[in-house]
Amino acid sequence: MHGINNKYATVPILFPVDNAGVVVSDIISLKNYNQAEIYLLTAAAMTKTAAVTLHQGVSVSSCATALPFTKYYQTGMRLKYDGASSGVAAAAGETATGAGTGVGTVYEDLGGVLVLYDWNSTAFVDNEVLTFSGGKLAVVDGIRYDWDIMVPTDAVANTFNVTQVLDVNKLYCIPVNGAMLDQGMDCIELNLTDCDSPTLLAAWVILSEPRYAGNPSPTAIYD
Protein backbone atom coordinates (compact mmCIF):
# COMPACT_ATOMS: atom_id res chain seq x y z
CA MET A 1 0.00 0.00 0.00
CA HIS A 2 1.31 3.45 -0.90
CA GLY A 3 1.64 5.95 1.94
CA ILE A 4 0.27 8.86 -0.09
CA ASN A 5 -3.51 9.18 0.09
CA ASN A 6 -3.55 6.45 2.75
CA LYS A 7 -1.16 7.28 5.58
CA TYR A 8 -0.56 10.91 4.62
CA ALA A 9 -1.55 13.69 2.24
CA THR A 10 0.67 16.38 0.73
CA VAL A 11 -0.66 19.90 0.14
CA PRO A 12 1.28 22.80 -1.44
CA ILE A 13 0.72 26.09 0.38
CA LEU A 14 3.33 28.33 -1.30
CA PHE A 15 4.38 27.61 -4.86
CA PRO A 16 8.04 28.20 -5.93
CA VAL A 17 7.96 31.78 -7.18
CA ASP A 18 9.89 34.89 -6.18
CA ASN A 19 8.34 36.54 -3.14
CA ALA A 20 8.99 40.09 -2.01
CA GLY A 21 7.60 41.82 1.05
CA VAL A 22 5.44 39.93 3.54
CA VAL A 23 4.74 36.28 2.64
CA VAL A 24 1.44 34.62 3.57
CA SER A 25 0.80 31.00 2.61
CA ASP A 26 -2.45 29.36 1.65
CA ILE A 27 -4.48 28.15 4.63
CA ILE A 28 -5.09 24.47 5.29
CA SER A 29 -7.55 22.72 7.60
CA LEU A 30 -6.67 20.05 10.14
CA LYS A 31 -10.31 19.03 10.49
CA ASN A 32 -9.57 15.64 8.94
CA TYR A 33 -6.03 15.16 10.25
CA ASN A 34 -4.28 15.22 13.61
CA GLN A 35 -0.71 15.98 12.51
CA ALA A 36 0.84 18.47 10.09
CA GLU A 37 4.48 18.95 9.12
CA ILE A 38 4.99 22.32 7.46
CA TYR A 39 8.02 22.49 5.15
CA LEU A 40 9.66 25.70 3.95
CA LEU A 41 12.29 25.56 1.21
CA THR A 42 14.62 28.48 0.48
CA ALA A 43 16.59 28.59 -2.76
CA ALA A 44 18.49 31.87 -2.54
CA ALA A 45 19.90 34.13 0.14
CA MET A 46 17.62 36.95 1.26
CA THR A 47 18.66 40.57 1.44
CA LYS A 48 17.26 40.85 4.97
CA THR A 49 16.15 38.63 7.85
CA ALA A 50 12.57 37.35 7.71
CA ALA A 51 10.83 35.99 10.82
CA VAL A 52 8.73 32.83 10.41
CA THR A 53 5.50 32.55 12.41
CA LEU A 54 2.31 30.49 12.34
CA HIS A 55 -1.32 31.61 12.57
CA GLN A 56 -4.45 29.65 13.42
CA GLY A 57 -8.10 30.25 12.69
CA VAL A 58 -11.60 28.80 12.43
CA SER A 59 -11.80 28.68 8.63
CA VAL A 60 -9.67 28.55 5.50
CA SER A 61 -10.71 32.12 4.69
CA SER A 62 -8.78 33.74 7.54
CA CYS A 63 -6.13 32.88 10.13
CA ALA A 64 -5.32 35.77 12.45
CA THR A 65 -4.48 34.23 15.84
CA ALA A 66 -0.85 33.42 16.68
CA LEU A 67 -0.11 29.69 16.88
CA PRO A 68 2.64 29.02 19.45
CA PHE A 69 5.31 26.44 18.64
CA THR A 70 8.48 25.50 20.49
CA LYS A 71 10.34 23.23 18.05
CA TYR A 72 11.32 23.26 14.40
CA TYR A 73 13.85 21.43 12.24
CA GLN A 74 16.41 22.80 9.80
CA THR A 75 18.98 21.50 7.35
CA GLY A 76 22.20 20.49 9.10
CA MET A 77 25.36 18.48 8.46
CA ARG A 78 28.06 16.36 10.04
CA LEU A 79 31.74 17.26 10.18
CA LYS A 80 34.58 15.04 11.40
CA TYR A 81 37.52 16.38 13.39
CA ASP A 82 40.62 15.06 15.14
CA GLY A 83 43.59 16.41 17.10
CA ALA A 84 41.35 18.05 19.68
CA SER A 85 43.02 20.10 22.41
CA SER A 86 40.48 18.77 24.92
CA GLY A 87 38.49 15.58 25.33
CA VAL A 88 35.53 17.54 26.68
CA ALA A 89 32.66 17.71 24.23
CA ALA A 90 31.68 21.12 22.88
CA ALA A 91 28.41 22.32 24.36
CA ALA A 92 25.26 22.63 22.31
CA GLY A 93 25.00 26.17 20.98
CA GLU A 94 28.74 26.73 20.64
CA THR A 95 30.05 27.73 17.24
CA ALA A 96 32.77 25.85 15.36
CA THR A 97 34.78 28.04 12.98
CA GLY A 98 37.28 26.88 10.38
CA ALA A 99 40.43 28.79 9.46
CA GLY A 100 38.74 29.67 6.16
CA THR A 101 35.81 31.29 8.05
CA GLY A 102 33.35 28.46 7.56
CA VAL A 103 31.20 28.37 10.69
CA GLY A 104 28.34 26.32 12.08
CA THR A 105 26.48 26.02 15.37
CA VAL A 106 26.95 22.84 17.39
CA TYR A 107 23.89 20.70 17.98
CA GLU A 108 25.94 17.79 19.30
CA ASP A 109 29.63 16.94 19.70
CA LEU A 110 30.01 13.16 19.49
CA GLY A 111 33.77 13.19 20.06
CA GLY A 112 35.32 13.35 16.61
CA VAL A 113 32.04 14.07 14.81
CA LEU A 114 30.02 17.28 15.01
CA VAL A 115 26.37 17.71 14.16
CA LEU A 116 26.04 21.31 13.00
CA TYR A 117 23.33 23.71 11.87
CA ASP A 118 23.22 27.41 10.88
CA TRP A 119 26.13 26.88 8.49
CA ASN A 120 27.24 30.12 6.82
CA SER A 121 27.78 28.47 3.39
CA THR A 122 31.59 28.82 3.50
CA ALA A 123 33.29 25.43 2.98
CA PHE A 124 35.16 23.60 5.72
CA VAL A 125 38.53 22.41 4.37
CA ASP A 126 40.34 19.20 5.29
CA ASN A 127 43.17 19.74 7.84
CA GLU A 128 42.27 23.34 8.63
CA VAL A 129 42.19 24.46 12.26
CA LEU A 130 38.74 24.37 13.85
CA THR A 131 38.12 26.80 16.71
CA PHE A 132 35.22 26.30 19.10
CA SER A 133 33.69 29.30 20.84
CA GLY A 134 34.07 27.40 24.13
CA GLY A 135 37.87 27.40 23.70
CA LYS A 136 38.61 23.94 22.28
CA LEU A 137 40.79 23.62 19.19
CA ALA A 138 40.77 20.76 16.67
CA VAL A 139 41.58 19.91 13.05
CA VAL A 140 38.95 19.31 10.38
CA ASP A 141 39.05 15.71 9.12
CA GLY A 142 37.63 15.69 5.59
CA ILE A 143 34.74 17.88 4.47
CA ARG A 144 31.13 18.24 5.56
CA TYR A 145 28.78 15.33 4.86
CA ASP A 146 25.19 14.25 5.55
CA TRP A 147 24.06 17.75 4.61
CA ASP A 148 20.51 16.54 4.13
CA ILE A 149 19.88 15.77 7.81
CA MET A 150 17.23 17.76 9.67
CA VAL A 151 18.40 19.07 13.04
CA PRO A 152 15.86 19.86 15.80
CA THR A 153 16.08 23.45 17.01
CA ASP A 154 14.28 25.37 19.74
CA ALA A 155 12.02 28.19 18.59
CA VAL A 156 12.39 31.44 20.53
CA ALA A 157 9.13 33.27 21.33
CA ASN A 158 7.24 31.13 18.78
CA THR A 159 9.39 32.15 15.82
CA PHE A 160 12.69 31.68 14.01
CA ASN A 161 14.54 33.67 11.40
CA VAL A 162 15.37 32.94 7.78
CA THR A 163 18.53 35.01 7.35
CA GLN A 164 20.41 36.59 4.49
CA VAL A 165 23.72 34.90 5.42
CA LEU A 166 22.67 31.35 6.21
CA ASP A 167 19.77 30.44 4.01
CA VAL A 168 20.99 29.34 0.59
CA ASN A 169 19.24 26.10 -0.47
CA LYS A 170 17.87 25.23 2.95
CA LEU A 171 14.89 23.28 4.27
CA TYR A 172 12.87 23.89 7.42
CA CYS A 173 10.11 21.85 9.04
CA ILE A 174 7.61 22.91 11.72
CA PRO A 175 5.60 20.04 13.26
CA VAL A 176 2.06 20.96 14.31
CA ASN A 177 -0.26 18.67 16.26
CA GLY A 178 -3.99 19.27 16.54
CA ALA A 179 -3.61 19.61 20.32
CA MET A 180 -1.50 22.76 19.78
CA LEU A 181 -4.45 24.69 18.35
CA ASP A 182 -6.87 26.67 20.50
CA GLN A 183 -10.33 25.29 21.17
CA GLY A 184 -12.55 25.67 18.12
CA MET A 185 -9.70 26.35 15.70
CA ASP A 186 -8.56 23.83 13.11
CA CYS A 187 -6.87 25.89 10.37
CA ILE A 188 -3.21 26.95 10.06
CA GLU A 189 -1.18 29.40 7.97
CA LEU A 190 2.56 30.05 7.47
CA ASN A 191 3.83 33.64 7.56
CA LEU A 192 7.15 35.39 6.87
CA THR A 193 7.84 39.02 7.63
CA ASP A 194 9.19 41.36 4.93
CA CYS A 195 11.54 39.49 2.57
CA ASP A 196 12.45 42.85 0.93
CA SER A 197 13.63 41.92 -2.58
CA PRO A 198 12.35 38.88 -4.55
CA THR A 199 13.36 35.65 -2.83
CA LEU A 200 12.60 32.18 -4.16
CA LEU A 201 10.58 30.22 -1.60
CA ALA A 202 8.29 27.22 -1.61
CA ALA A 203 6.23 25.60 1.14
CA TRP A 204 4.06 22.51 1.54
CA VAL A 205 2.41 20.50 4.29
CA ILE A 206 2.45 16.76 4.90
CA LEU A 207 -0.71 15.79 6.77
CA SER A 208 -0.87 12.51 8.67
CA GLU A 209 -2.97 10.63 11.22
CA PRO A 210 -6.15 11.00 9.15
CA ARG A 211 -9.41 10.85 11.06
CA TYR A 212 -11.17 9.02 8.22
CA ALA A 213 -9.99 6.28 5.88
CA GLY A 214 -10.20 6.86 2.17
CA ASN A 215 -8.29 7.06 -1.07
CA PRO A 216 -7.80 9.86 -2.02
CA SER A 217 -7.58 11.36 1.46
CA PRO A 218 -10.09 14.03 2.54
CA THR A 219 -9.25 17.54 1.36
CA ALA A 220 -7.39 20.05 3.52
CA ILE A 221 -7.97 23.19 1.44
CA TYR A 222 -11.50 23.89 2.71
CA ASP A 223 -13.66 23.15 5.71
pLDDT in tens, 92-107: 999 999 999 999 999 9
Does residue 3 form part of some domain? no
**For the ranges 3-12, 18-27, 57-66, 163-172, the one whose mean pLDDT is highest:** 57-66
Decide if 148 contacts 73 (C-beta within 8 A).
Answer: no
Q: Between 90 and 42, name the one with better pLDDT.
A: 90
pLDDT at residue 199 in the model? 76
Residue 194's pLDDT band, with cuts at 50, 70 and 90, is confident
pLDDT at residue 220 in the model? 76
Does residue 199 form part of some domain? yes
Residue 201's pLDDT band, with cuts at 50, 70 and 90, is confident
Poorest-pLDDT segment among 11-15, 135-139, 165-169: 165-169
Residue 110's pLDDT band, with cuts at 50, 70 and 90, is very high
Does residue 218 form part of some domain? no
Same-domain check for residues 162 and 56: yes
Same-domain check for residues 54 and 79: no
Does residue 215 form part of some domain? no
The domain that contains 45 carries what CATH number? 2.60.120.380
Residue 198's pLDDT band, with cuts at 50, 70 and 90, is low
Q: Say how many domains are in the chain.
A: 2
State the DSSP code for 59: B
Q: Is the pLDDT of residue 40 over 60?
A: yes
Indicate if the alpha-carbon torsion angle 187, 188, 194, 200 is positive or negative: negative
Decide if 64 contacts 57 (C-beta within 8 A).
Answer: yes
Question: How many Cβ atoms are within 10 Å of 177's Cβ, its own excluded?
Answer: 12
pTM above 0.85, yes or no: yes
- pLDDT tens digits along 142-151: 999 999 999 9
How high does pLDDT run on average in the chain?
90
Same-domain check for residues 191 and 164: yes
pLDDT at residue 16 in the model? 86
Q: Is the pLDDT of residue 1 over 60?
A: no
Could you tell me the residue range of the domain that residue 19 belongs to? 8-70+156-210
Indicate if the alpha-carbon torsion angle 94, 98, 101, 102 is positive or negative: negative
Does residue 222 form part of some domain? no
Residue 17's pLDDT band, with cuts at 50, 70 and 90, is confident
Does residue 145 form part of some domain? no
Q: Is the pLDDT of residue 58 over 80?
A: yes
Of the candidates 169, 153, 185, 216, the residue with the CA atom closest to the CA atom of residue 57: 185
Residue 167's pLDDT band, with cuts at 50, 70 and 90, is low
Residue 139's pLDDT band, with cuts at 50, 70 and 90, is very high
Same-domain check for residues 129 and 163: no
